[in-house]
């Protein structure tokens, strides 16, 4: 039944059958998270980082209605070029993108769903969605958070951007039983910066230690994911006051323009990039590389634990 919908690339299928490490990657970051051509270049570099460490990358997207696990270079370039013309696809959108045979770029939530269907346990990306500022009025809470509470995939990210309400996002994750782990830090990183003023639940310093906790969670049937928050490398970090002002201006503009729903996150990301004249893009790219390296090491350690 599943074969009707799911298309796992041969090398990914083989690696999973042989119990070798595989790392899942999302595609909304390609289509909606970065501009062309940096989006496609970054996605290809990310795959290379994973391969160089001895694991197999599986970029996930929906193409022509098929849930694809593992893309070709051409398919990655295609998604990069089409950009926001590809439908941003979260959990609620999947049935329609599939039945209408459309192309869909998967968010953190839908990438977790499809990775889990394929049997992939580790996923590396930039930032997760969360509780938006003003959510007490708008109810804008990313479906990523519900997915993290339900689907057994470990997600390595650079924390969350302060386009979100980080405090409410942590509270939501706590209620849902999702552990938020700081990789080498006690403080939740805020994507462009290493600091946010919020504490994580646990600090873990090695991927081996991380793998043991992840394995214990799932051995004990404690359903759901784990957020591994990995701070941006010091030298690519942005100035805290600068990025704070930029984000505040972007959020204000989104409110004035009445941007809502799934358009909000892409709008804010593009605005931030424009205002910082691309400086935020460089940080964004570097933090993704940094996260994917940790995700790969984690996938390798998990395989060792069996
Ligand atoms: N945050 C980023 N970059 C991104 C996203 C979030 O820093 O590209 C994308 C991810 O795909 C994430 C999605 O899953 O936005 C969240 O969108 P929403 O808030 O509409 O759920
Ligand atoms: Mn939303």
For residue range 179-231, what is the model confidence (pLDDT) as tens digits? 999 999 999 999 999 999 999 999 999 999 999 999 999 999 999 999 999 99
Mutate to test the pocket of ligand 1, among 31, 34, 129, 155 (most ligand atoms within 8 A of CB): 129
Determine how many CB atoms are found less than 10 A away from the CB of residue 6.
14
Cα distances (Å, whole numbers) of residue 123 to 137, 177, 185, 216, 277: 32, 19, 20, 18, 29
144 is in an annotated binding site: yes
Q: What is the pLDDT of residues 62-77, one digit of tens each?
A: 999 999 999 999 999 9
267 C-alpha to center of ligand 1: Å?
Answer: 11
In this structure, what CATH number is given to the domain that contains residue 240? 3.40.1790.10
Distance CA 128, CA 158 (A): 8
Distance from the alpha carbon of residue 60 to the mean position of ligand 2, in angstroms: 21
**Ligand 1-lining residues (CB < 6 angstroms):** 26, 28-29, 32-33, 90, 107-108, 126-127, 129, 142-144, 161, 191, 262, 265, 269
Torsion of CA 262, 265, 270, 276, to 10 degrees: 170
Q: Where does the chain show beta strands of DSSP type E?
A: 6-8, 22-25, 56-63, 66-69, 87-89, 104-106, 122-124, 154-157, 180-183, 202-204, 226-229
Instruction: Find the ligand nearest to 260 CA.
Output: 2
Q: Which domain holds residue 28?
A: 2-305
Closest CA to 155 of 63, 260, 280, 29: 29
For the entire predicted model, the pTM comes to 0.98
* Rounded distance between C-alpha atoms, residue 231 and residue 195, angstroms: 8
Torsion angle, alpha carbons of 100, 103, 105, 111, to 10: 60
Residue 143 annotated as lining a ligand binding site: yes
| CA-to-CA dists, residue 290 to 112, 160, 202, 208, angstroms | 20, 15, 20, 17
26-76 residue pLDDT tens:
999 999 999 999 999 999 999 999 999 999 999 999 999 999 999 999 999
Number of domains in the chain: 1
Q: Is the pLDDT of residue 162 over 90?
A: no
């Amino acid at each position: 039944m599943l074969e009707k919908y799911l298309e796992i690339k041969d090398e990914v299928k083989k690696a999973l059958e042989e119990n070798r490490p595989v790392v899942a990657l999302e595609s909304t970051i390609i289509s909606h998270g970065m501009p062309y051509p940096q989006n496609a270049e970054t996605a290809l570099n990310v795959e290379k980082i994973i391969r160089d460490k001895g694991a197999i990358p599986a970029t996930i997207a929906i193409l022509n209605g098929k849930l694809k696990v593992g893309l070709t270079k051409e398919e990655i370039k295609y998604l990069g070029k089409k950009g926001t013309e590809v439908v941003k696809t979260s959990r609620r959108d999947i049935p329609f993108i599939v039945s209408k045979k459309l192309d869909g770029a998967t968010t953190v939530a839908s990438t977790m769903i499809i990775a889990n269907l394929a049997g992939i346990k580790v996923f590396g990306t930039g930032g997760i969605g969360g509780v938006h500022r003003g959510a007490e009025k708008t109810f804008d809470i990313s479906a990523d958070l519900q997915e993290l509470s339900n689907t057994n995939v470990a997600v390595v990210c650079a924390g969350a951007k302060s386009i979100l309400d980080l405090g409410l996002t942590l509270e939501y994750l706590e209620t849902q039983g999702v552990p938020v782990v700081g990789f080498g830090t006690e403080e939740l990183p805020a994507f462009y910066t290493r600091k946010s003023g919020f504490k994580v639940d646990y600090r873990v310093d090695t991927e081996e230690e991380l793998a043991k906790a992840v394995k214990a969670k799932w051995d004990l049937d404690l359903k759901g994911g784990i957020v591994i928050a990995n701070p941006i490398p010091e030298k690519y970090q942005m100035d805290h006051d600068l990025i704070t002002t930029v984000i505040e201006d972007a959020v204000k503009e989104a409110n004035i323009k009445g941007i809502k729903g799934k358009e909000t996150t892409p709008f804010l990301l593009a605005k931030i990039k424009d205002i910082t004249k691309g400086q935020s893009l460089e940080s964004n790219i570097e933090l993704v590389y940094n996260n994917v390296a940790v995700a790969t090491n984690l996938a390798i350690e998990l395989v060792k634990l069996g």
